[in-house]
Amino acid sequence: MLQVYNTLTRKKEEFKPIEKNHVRMYVCGPTVYDYPHIGNARSFAVFDTIRRYLEYKGYRVTYITNFTDIDDKMINRANEEGISVADLAARFIAEYYIIASELNLKPATVNPRATEHIDDIIDMVSKIIENGHGYVVDGDVYFDVPSWSNYGVLSKIPLDELSAGLRVNVGEKKKDPRDFALWKAEKPGEPSWDSPWGKGRPGWHAECSVMGKYYLGIPFDIHGGGQDLIFPHHENEIAQSAAAYGEKTPVKYWLHNGFLTINTEKMSKSEGNFFTAREVLDNYDHQAVRFYLVSGQYRQPLDYNDKALKQAIQSLERIKNAADTIRGKISILEKKGGRRTKADDKLSEAIKKVREGFEREMDDDFNTPGAIAEIFTFVRDINSLTPDIGNAAVLREALSTLSELMSILGINLEKAEDEAGGKSVEVLKGVVGLLLEVRENARKSKDYAAADMIRDRLKELSISVADTKDGPTWKIE
Ligand code: AMP
Ligand code: ZN
């Protein structure tokens, strides 16, 4: 039985989707104003693993994750760079897709953008005003927080405690410091859309209420994001959806990932203590980065340091080596044939145990470190039993089980092989190129014996060289 920790109730609860066999899930995606940092990537990776595990359990998952493509950060950055907000968004949405592919994130069912849903946002804001929970001041629209007694339901911050310490900033026209913007009147040089309140743009929180309802219907099952979004973003989302659409609990389970930290501090752009996902992925094996990002339980903090990444590289290497050990033994047995031995029975037992253990840990609020520990026990069993295995069938089952469980963590063991193969081809091309360069130099200095020897020895290795007017070419015969 799958148990998930629900921020709304602050308890682990049995997971039961609203519709049988179908999970509807929304995860707050990036604001596309800059390169995402590796902390953002943690959020993307853990929710991808949660989705993959739900699919493994047999659910169909509709997975929506948005792009925030209009807000203050977008406008400021576009102005700094002298480009339009739309061009800025296009650039970093493209970057997101590259990172998503390198981290092996499954494509979302839809990646909607805020600016594609302006009419729906206007519609929701109008409903909130009609229902008496929003008001207009000079083209701005605010949510009237004191009118919403359920405010604080997610963050557990009582309404009166909330007002302490808050001030209405100069230039803001809200009635109460706790109120938040649903719609912002146009300022010069900003992108804007027509609305019943004049030209303007949506406040940040509005988009997720609208797109969640549009693509999933409300109530839906899971809403995810980082812990920093509990307040105010998700608190405001509940208030908006409930006030507009009359659904008291628009989301059944609220899941929040812990922070990626550097020296126990949250990694963040504003604090300046961050590494971009791009630089980390450029410096480390992509699969090891993905493995590292899901190696901690998703609600706990995860520290970012070189040692942790090196450890992920080594751990992954051990798992891949076990897969190679199995493959090697399968090819020997395929040639020689063989009979079932005692080791075969033990490995069958280990296959059963790893699946059970993995599921037990993942059923406990997606406890990936526990699930990975089960995989390591299995790796030890593979290494000790494989030499004595008599029949390939059990090895094939061991390999497919290992691959299947690793794929829930976002690691494709088959792909690891392709990548290694791809790398060998690159190295081969480089080495042949280098030999041909040495041969050209030999020919230039009239050392024909050396030049011919290189050509002949390559021929022995099935690599034929042809001299063309554009220089030598080669191919494998
Ligand atoms: P943003 O682009 O800032 O809207 O963030 C995208 C996602 O990353 C959100 O779900 C954030 O809560 C999450 N996030 C931001 N910083 C961190 C961090 N240091 N560790 C984990 N998740 C984070
Ligand atoms: Zn959101």
Q: How far apart are CA 93 and CA 180, in angstroms?
A: 27
Residues with a CB atom less than 6 Å from ligand 1:
28, 30-31, 39-40, 42-43, 225-226, 228-229, 257, 259-260, 266-268
More confident residue, 244 or 417: 244
- The CA distances from residue 163 to 147, 149, 166, 167, 215, in Å, are 14, 14, 5, 8, 34
- The Cα–Cα gap between 77 and 88 comes to 8
Residues 12 and 123 in one domain: yes
Whether the CB-CB separation of 27 and 51 falls below 8 Å is answered with: no
Per-state percent for the chain, helix, strand, coil, to nearest 5: 55, 15, 30
CA atoms within 13 A on the CB side of 439: 21
Q: Is residue 160 part of a domain?
A: no
Residue-wise pLDDT tens digits, 255-289: 999 999 998 899 999 999 999 999 999 999 999 99
Would 299 be classed as within a structural domain? no
Nearest ligand 1 atom to alpha carbon 224: 10
Ligand 1, atom 12: nearest CA belongs to which residue?
Answer: 226
Query: Closest-lying ligand to the alpha carbon of 223?
Result: 2
- HSE-CB for 192 with a 13 A CA cutoff: 17
Residue nearest to atom 5 of ligand 1 (CA): 30
Residue 362 shares a structural domain with residue 444: no
Q: Is the pLDDT at 416 greater than 80, yes or no?
A: no
What the block records as the tokens of 19 is: 């519709």
Q: For the chain, what is the domain count?
A: 3
CA dist., res. 437 & res. 423, Å (int): 21
Inter-residue contact 288 to 313 (CB < 8 Å) = yes
Q: Are strands 3-6 and 11-14 parallel, antiparallel or unpaired?
A: antiparallel
d(CA 409, CA 372): 9
Locate the ligand 1 atom nearest the alpha carbon of residue 302 and give its number: 20
Residue 180: band (very low, low, confident or very high) from pLDDT cuts 50, 70, 90: very high
Q: Which of 101-105, 169-173, 243-247 has the lowest mean pLDDT?
A: 169-173
> Do 259 and 325 contact (CB within 8 A), yes or no?
no
Q: How far is 31 from 205, CA to CA, in rounded Å? A: 12
Average pLDDT of every residue of the chain: 94
Q: Tell me the C-alpha distance between 390 and 143, whole Å.
A: 70
352 domain-assigned: yes
Number of the ligand 1 atom closest to the C-alpha atom of 43:
22
pLDDT class of 418 with cuts at 50, 70, 90: low
Beta carbons within 10 angstroms of residue 271's beta carbon = 10
Distance of CA 229 from the midpoint of ligand 2 (Å)? 8
What's the CA-to-centroid distance between 100 and ligand 2, angstroms?
Answer: 18
- Residue range 223-256, pLDDT digits in tens: 999 999 999 999 999 999 999 999 889 999 999 9
Give the CATH number of the domain where residue 220 resides.
3.40.50.620
Domain finish residue from 378, 408, 438: 408
* 430 Cα to the center of ligand 2, angstroms: 47
Q: Which structural domain range is residue 78 located in?
A: 3-129+206-293
Which atom of ligand 1 is least distant from the CA of 36? 2
Assess whether 320 and 430 both reside in one domain.
no
- pLDDT bucket at 39, cuts 50 / 70 / 90: very high
Q: Which atom of ligand 1 is nearest to the CA of 229?
A: 12
Largest CA distance in the chain: 93
Pick from 185, 187, 196: which is nearest to 122 by CA? 196
Pair (287, 355) in one structural domain: no
Residue 306 belongs to some domain of the structure:
no
Ligand 1 pocket: which of 43, 47, 72, 233 to mutate (most atoms within 8 A of CB): 43
Its pTM stands at 0.88
**Which residue's CA is the closest to the ligand 1 atom numbered 15?**
40
Give the residue with greater pLDDT, 160 vs 379.
379
Tokens of 154: 């997610």
Q: How confident is the model at residue 466 (pLDDT cuts 50, 70, 90)?
A: confident
Token pair recorded at residue 381: 């069993």
